[in-house]
Structures are given as structure tokens and as C-alpha cells.
Amino acid sequence: MTANAPITQDVLTLPRKLPEGGKINLVGLTRDQLRETLIAHGTPEKQAKMRVGQIWQWIYQWGKRDFAEMTNLAKAYRADLDEHFEIATPEVMSKQVSTDGTRKYLVRIAGGHEVEVVYIPEEGRGTLCISSQVGCTLTCSFCHTGTQKLVRNLTAAEIVGQIMMARDDLDEWPVPGAPKDETRLLSNIVLMGMGEPLYNFENVRDAMKIAMDPEGISLSRRRITLSTSGVVPEIARTAEEIGCLLAVSFHATTDEVRDKLVPINKRWNIEALLEALRAYPRLTNSERITFEYVMLNGVNDSDEDAHRLVELIKGIPAKVNLIPFNEWPGSPYTRSSNNRIHAFANIIYQAGYASPIRTPRGEDILAACGQLKSATERARKSRKQIEAEAGLNP
Ligand code: SAH
Ligand code: SF4
């Protein structure tokens, strides 16, 4: 391991209750935590289980934010709840809609930090790409998020809150009594926004458990994909404690190149990563591991790379998702040509693996993979650039 490899996770998660003595947010609590919280604020223990069930449904099944609307609770109890608690989700600061229908939200969380959330509508499904951290402690050289200095973990509330916020915007909370609509606008979740989800494991896990709870948002674990850059020790836990699908930011076929592109490789190299992936339980073929591979012109896109990749993943039920590099202001790489990407895809396909080429979505609003970065941070960067151009910053 290289001593200065940027692989630490010395970031903090802000406490649920901010010091000013504000109300406690009930969003993001597990059922057990919700029970304890209610009891601690006067709900009789005997009633707690039932109250948890009722409040849970109002929050996660019906999308209610106001205790006054929880009509199966006594009026006095509702007032009581309102005194101590709130149901809060991240605040939407701005929303951009791409010409292709992709929606990018900038949301504000406690401390004034901002994260981006992207909704991608597709034929028959809609995917929400959510963030797990503000920025990222890792510094993958092709990723815009990795250039952001500021990092903090999101709380479970802030993670599941992104899903609730999107359901608000899509107007997708069911109406009590109305027939169930099976075609969901928001049908899939990918943890592919800002941050390394496995460096914020507990909060990501709790948030996904809430999203999967059958008495709430009720997303199947097969509709949730967690993308990791390769935090090897947490991969087995992901299977055990979350049970969602896994995607891995592979991006290179030799340690030499992967060390440069995905620096966490200096801590857990390709061999260690593959070993963890071989052990990841897969029950059906639809639960294959997704190998994400960003196509960088002249860096990792040769025929030899494709052949090596096929050799490396041998024996792992896998699909290879080829991501044409999305450029961002100042990015050090360029995108491989379409011909190159197709030739690469073909070698993998011939070897028996699905090798879809991802269509960049929302490029006009910088919503594509690896382009996410908060507006505040962008503003800071561009001011620096402006200063440099003006000769203020030699
Ligand atoms: N931190 C996690 C999840 C977020 S990144 C991870 O790295 O897996 C989601 C995907 O987008 C990753 O595969 C990442 O490598 C890829 N990505 C990052 N920057 C990109 C860019 N500029 N162009 C294309 N893909 C990029
Ligand atoms: Fe972090 Fe993933 Fe970007 Fe790497 S690719 S810097 S792990 S968000």
C-alpha cells in the first residue's frame, strides 16, 4: 500500500438532531430506531409497535409530511408528535430538465451542503441516481466528483430523502383508496451519484432497507444497484446486509493503469477485488455483477484490454457496461471513438458477456456519469479560473 494513497474515510456524518435543538427528523430511522425514539418521547411501550406501523405507512407509503394528516392517530397524539418531530427531506434548490427528459436536481442538506440527484426516464422504467456523500474521498482521475475537496457522509435520512424528494417531484405517491398503479415512474435506484457508498455503509444500508420495506416505498432489492470503486472488505457485507445488485467501477485491466484511474486499487488491487466479486452470491442470471468500464481514448480501450478483461472476469456471471467518457471542464482525458468502443464491445460480446454501451443521458445539463458536482463548488472553481485568467493568481 502506498503511504499517501487517498483512501481514508475520515469524514463525519452530521448528527440527526442539529445542536440548535430543532425537531428530530423521523425520516431515515429504522423501524427499531423509530420505536425507541417514540418511546423516549412518551409513547407508551405497549402501543409503540402499532404506532411505528402507522407512522411508517404515512411517511413511506403515502408520502405525508404533516402529522395532522395522520388521521388514524388521536388528535392529541398528532399534536404531540408535531411538537417533537418533523418529517424532513432534502430541499430542492434547483431542477434542470434535459432535452432527453433526464431531470437533475440540486438539493441542499444540513450544513448548507449540496448534492445532485438525477432521474433518468427510460422505456418501461425510471431510474433515480442518488448520492451517498458530498464529494468523495477517492480521487479517480476521470471523475468530476473526485476533484471536489469538501466531503461528508450523507445521513440515512438524506439518502432515502432523495428518493422521497423525487417521488414528490414526479407526483408519484399513491392516493389512499385509488387503484394501484403498477407502472412506476421511479422503479429503480442506482447508487451512482456522488460519493463512494461503501465508505458510508451503515447509512446507505439503513436508507436502502427503508426503500425496500414492503409497507413503504417497496422497491425490490433487485431494482437497487450499488456501484463501488472496489472497497473490498465491504463487498460481502453488501450482499449480507443489503442484498442489492452490485456494480463495480473496474475501468482497467492492469494494476498499473487501474492505480492511476481508480487509486483505491493501490489498497485493494485487481486480484483482491476479483476474489471478493467471485464470492458475491448470485441467485439468478439477472443478478450478474455489472462491470463498469469507462472508455478513455488511448488509455484503457485497446483490443488487448478487451481480451484481458474477458480473461480476468472468467467464471464470474457478469455484464460489462461500457461508459463513453463524459467530459467535464478541465478533464484530463478524451472519449474513445465510437468505432473503438464498438470494437471493444464486440470482443467482450464474442466471449459470451453482454456488453451494452451506455447512452450518455442529460449531457446538456451535466447530469451524466461522473459529471456531478455541486453548483457551489463549480462556482468556486470558475472564480479561481477567472482570477487566473485575469492574472490575479499567477
Ligand atoms: N463511487 C462509486 C459510485 C459513483 S460513480 C463508484 O465509483 O463506483 C458512478 C460511475 O460513473 C462509476 O463507474 C464511475 O467510475 C463512473 N464515472 C465517473 N466519472 C465518469 C466520467 N467522467 N465519465 C463516465 N463515467 C464516469
Ligand atoms: Fe469517488 Fe466513484 Fe468518482 Fe471514484 S468514480 S472519485 S469512487 S465518485
End-to-end CA distance of the chain: 35
pLDDT of residue 368: 62
For residue 247, what are the β-bridge partners? Answer: 227, 290
**Stretch (H or E) spanning 318:** strand 318-324
Which residue's entry shows cell 484503457?
Answer: 300
| Predicted local confidence at residue 21, as pLDDT | 60
pLDDT, residue 105, reads 94
Whether 369 is catalytic:
yes
Ligand 1 geometric centre to CA of 121 (Å):
19
CA distances from 263 to 92, 125, 257, 269, 293 (A): 33, 34, 10, 9, 15
In the reported structure, the alpha carbon of residue 260 is separated from the centroid of ligand 1 by a whole-number distance in angstroms of 14
Cβ distance 300 to 335 under 8 Å? Answer: no
Helix/strand/coil for 64? coil
- Please state the atom number of ligand 2 nearest to the C-alpha of residue 264: 7
Q: Which residues pair with 320 in a beta bridge?
A: 291
CB 152 within 8 A of CB 111: yes
> Which residue owns the Cα nearest ligand 2 atom 4?
140
User: Cβ < 6 Å from ligand 2: which residues?
Assistant: 136, 138-140, 143, 145-146, 195-196, 229, 249
**Cβ-proximal residues to 187 (8 Å cutoff; 6+ apart), any chain:** 125, 126, 127, 219, 223
Residue of 116, 158, 327, 377 marked active site: 116
Distance CA 107, CA 101 (A): 19
| Grid cell in block for residue 389 | 485568467
Q: Which atom of ligand 1 is nearest to the CA of 324?
A: 24
Which residue, among 222, 223, 231, has the nearest Cα to 200 in the 3D structure? 231
Residue ranges for the chain with pLDDT beneath 50: 1-10, 15-17, 19, 374-376, 378-394
- Backbone φ and ψ for 340, nearest 5 degrees, come out as -60, -45
pLDDT of residue 177: 78
What is the rounded distance in angstroms from the CA atom of residue 217 to the CA atom of residue 167?
A: 10
What kind and span of H or E run contains 282? Answer: none
Are 155 and 16 a contacting pair, CB within 8 Å? yes
Of all ligands present, the nearest one to the C-alpha of 250 is 1
Q: Which atom of ligand 2 is nearest to 139's Cα?
A: 6
At residue 10, the pLDDT reads: 42
What is the per-residue pLDDT across 288-333, written as a single tens digit (0 to 9) for each? 999 999 999 999 999 999 999 999 999 899 999 999 998 888 888 9
The DSSP 8-state label assigned to residue 183 in this structure reads: S
- pLDDT at residue 151, rounded to an integer: 81
Conformational region of residue 124, where left means phi above 0, alpha means psi within -120 to 50, and beta covers everything else: left
Sequence-ordered alpha helix ranges (H) in the chain: 31-40, 45-56, 75-84, 156-169, 201-212, 235-237, 255-261, 270-278, 303-313, 338-350, 375-389
pLDDT at 140: 92
Question: What pLDDT does residue 369 have?
Answer: 58
Ligand 1 residue neighbourhood (C-beta within 6 Å)? 136, 140, 142-144, 192, 195-196, 227-229, 249, 292, 294, 323, 325-326, 369-370
Q: Residue 262 C-alpha to ligand 2 middle, in angstroms?
A: 8
> How confident is the model at residue 370, as a pLDDT?
56
Pocket test for ligand 2, best of 138, 225, 227 (most atoms within 8 A of CB): 138
The DSSP 8-state label assigned to residue 58 in this structure reads: I
Region of 340 (left: φ > 0; alpha: ψ -120 to 50; beta: rest) is alpha
Contacts of 47 (CB under 8 A, 6+ apart): none
CA of 326 to the centre of ligand 1 (A): 10
